[in-house]
Amino acid sequence: MWFKNRETGIQWDVTDEELIKRLEKNANYEIVVLEKAEVIESPQTVITKNVKSPEKEQAK
């Protein structure tokens, strides 16, 4: 469970059950609700190489 310190803004991922209970009661901390990450599809990247053109090779 994630908590945010209201004074510093620092967020903590807390897994200890006893600590979670204490932080829930502490006014200096608030529970942070994380949203699901959105999957962003990116277009495929086309990689090109510097390859000598056969036409230029024949011209030499």
Using one digit for the tens of pLDDT, what is the confidence trace for 2-58?
Answer: 999 999 999 999 999 999 999 999 999 999 987 765 445 556 555 545 555 555 545
How far is residue 53's CA from residue 16's CA, in Å, rounded to a whole number? 64
| Token pair of 42 as six digits | 């990116």
How high is the pLDDT of residue 54?
Answer: 55
Burial class (CB in 10 A: 0-12, 13-18, 19+), 4: middle
How high is the pLDDT of residue 53?
Answer: 53
How high is the pLDDT of residue 33?
Answer: 86
How far is residue 34's CA from residue 3's CA, in Å, rounded to a whole number? 10
How high is the pLDDT of residue 4?
Answer: 94
How high is the pLDDT of residue 34?
Answer: 75
pTM: 0.56
